[in-house]
Amino acid sequence: MNGDTQRDIAQRILQALYEAWERHTLVSLNPVQAEGGWDKALFRTVVDRLEDDGLIRGAASGYSFAITPDGISRAEENQIVPADNIERHQQIRSHILEHLAKLYELEGSRAHAHYEKIAEGAPVRHAMEILKDLSYLSDLNEIEAASTSSYRMTNSRYRNFRGADLEELL
């Protein structure tokens, strides 16, 4: 029973932090613990384990936490969050990678685009919504920031994305 309870707590924590990530905010885990009615010591043990596993990271104050890129991946892979949310973010990420790959092909490896340009045609309501997925892809080293608001595809991601078999330079 304890393992199931810990799993339930971990899933609820990841769900809450994923939802906060979607809103570009941090969240205190105190309401999550209170809502679930879980023992504080057991809850803290699960939080510590999630931190140790690199799925969440603590923020500066108020028992607030953020989900890490690994936590986002795990939440999506295990369908801890609604399938519609997962599908939407996958569509956004695919759009970003397609856009940047086309730009790479046209202008070379240093080609970059402003996030507002990348957001055109993406399944987002506002251009700024794309920033969370741009940040996620940056954390995964799929893309990189060319400036504070401009992004480009990394060389290694381009090779993987297009299946390009580039010859070694030396």
**Domain residue ranges in the chain:** 2-77, 83-162
pLDDT in tens, 115-160: 999 999 999 999 999 999 999 999 999 999 999 999 999 988 887 7
* 2-77 matches 83-162 in fold: yes
Q: Has residue 162 got a pLDDT over 80?
A: no
Q: So what CATH class is 2-77?
A: mainly alpha
Q: Has residue 165 got a pLDDT over 80?
A: no
pLDDT in tens, 59-102: 877 789 999 999 999 999 999 999 999 999 999 999 999 999 99
User: Any bridge partners for residue 57, and if so which?
Assistant: 66
Strands 150-153 and 143-145: antiparallel
Model confidence, pTM: 0.88
Q: What is the fold of 83-162?
A: Arc Repressor Mutant, subunit A (1.10.10)
Who wins on pLDDT, 164 or 118?
Answer: 118
